[in-house]
Amino acid sequence: MRTRALVLVAIALLVAACATTSSRPVRSEFEDIPVPRGLSLAEGRSTIIESPTVKAARLVYRGRIEPQSLGVAMRQTLEGSGWRHVSTSHAGDQGTIQVYEKGGNSLQVRIWEGWWFTYVELTASRAVQPPTARSQ
């Protein structure tokens, strides 16, 4: 009986530890691309490239969210931020791909389900305005 109680306590502690969420804000390289709550940046899978004229990123987030509801949430928040939905396609085990545009910039959102997490990959690029020369 004592062993059973210890096992139940250990399971309860494990479940409670897995249910905690980070209070850190979700990182986004582009201020007008909102990231839903419940996702955390998978830094080892993400890439950011910056040059004097272009900023591009492939940001991968993960969380325990149902893929279909995450797709709806992404579309609503992006359209609320001024992004125009261009298309949505479903590619089997590759997940769902949504394409958006805003002011000549493009954004691809890919949502797929892994073994334990749901993943969101944001691929975006935009031209960076060069600094203006100061008149002397």
Per residue in 97-112, pLDDT tens?
A: 999 999 989 999 999 9
Per-residue pLDDT at 113? 94
Give me the mean pLDDT over the 114-121 stretch: 95
* Cα distance from N-terminal residue to C-terminal residue, the chain: 85
Amino acid identity for residue 94 in this structure: Q
The percent of residues in the chain predicted with pLDDT above 90, rounded, is 56
Q: What is the rounded CA–CA span in Å between residue 111 and residue 100? A: 14
- Cα–Cα dist 38/66, whole Å: 11
pTM of the model: 0.73
Res 91: pLDDT: 86
In which band, very low, low, confident or very high, does the pLDDT at 2 lie, cut at 50, 70 and 90?
low
| pLDDT, average across residues 120-132 | 84
Using the CB atoms, write b or e for 96-117: b if 16+ within 10 Å. Answer: bbbbbebeeeebbbbbbbeeeb
Give me the architecture of the 33-127 domain, per CATH. 2-Layer Sandwich (3.30)
Is the pLDDT score of 8 beyond 90?
A: no
Indicate the pLDDT class of residue 25, thresholds 50, 70 and 90.
Answer: very low
Phi, psi of 103 (to 5 degrees): 55, 40
